[in-house]
Amino acid sequence: MSGGRWNYGQCNLGYDMYPNSDVRYGLGEDTKYREYSKSVKAARQANPMCDKQISELVYDVLCLIYSCDWYLCGDTGEEDYLEDVQFFKKKWLKIKPEDAVRAEIDKSVSETKDELYKNFGISMDEKEVLQQ
């Protein structure tokens, strides 16, 4: 890649908005979306848009721009980019509003539980035992 289609603008913005996160879906990797879910959690914690759902959406938009950039520069094939487009659309564009609200509530409850366990000094092992 010679500088990217957009001169790495999406990368710079992503690093500025989401420090310590790799703002991409993981192009060309076998574990493409497995590591992505960890990055989304970090993006929601960074919360640069002061709204976790909007922060996650912006993160995903930057991931999609990154994927398009790699495709347009010839670093990946069209099939990789189209797979990422479908992933994005399935997540953000084909969901009923009430289902999006339910998903947001579930994510927020899970994040709050994790934060409370951390604040009270309960380890991951103890957390798993408590949840059984």
Answer yes or no: do 35 and 87 share one domain.
yes
Answer yes or no: do 101 and 88 share one domain.
no
Answer yes or no: do 116 and 79 share one domain.
no
Answer yes or no: do 119 and 57 share one domain.
no
Answer yes or no: do 26 and 10 share one domain.
yes
Confidence band for 12, pLDDT divided at 50, 70 and 90: confident
Q: With beta carbons less than 8 A apart as the criterion, state whether 65 and 10 touch.
A: yes
Answer yes or no: do 76 and 45 share one domain.
yes
Report the C-alpha gap between 131 and 48 in whole angstroms.
Answer: 31
Own/partner long-range contacts of 36-43 (Cβ < 8 Å, ≥24 apart): 36/63, 41/111, 42/18, 43/18
Answer yes or no: do 120 and 68 share one domain.
no
Answer yes or no: do 88 and 109 share one domain.
no
Q: What is the pLDDT of residues 23-81, one digit of tens each?
A: 887 655 556 666 677 788 888 989 999 999 999 999 999 999 988 998 998 888 899 89
Answer yes or no: do 69 and 107 share one domain.
no
The tally of domains found in the chain comes to 2
1 has a pLDDT exceeding 60: no
pTM for the predicted model, two decimal places: 0.72
**pLDDT top residue among 126 and 1:** 126
Domain that holds residue 66: 1-94
Answer yes or no: do 125 and 75 share one domain.
no
Which pLDDT does position 18 carry in this prediction? 87
Which pLDDT does position 74 carry in this prediction? 86
Answer yes or no: do 52 and 77 share one domain.
yes
Answer yes or no: do 19 and 46 share one domain.
yes
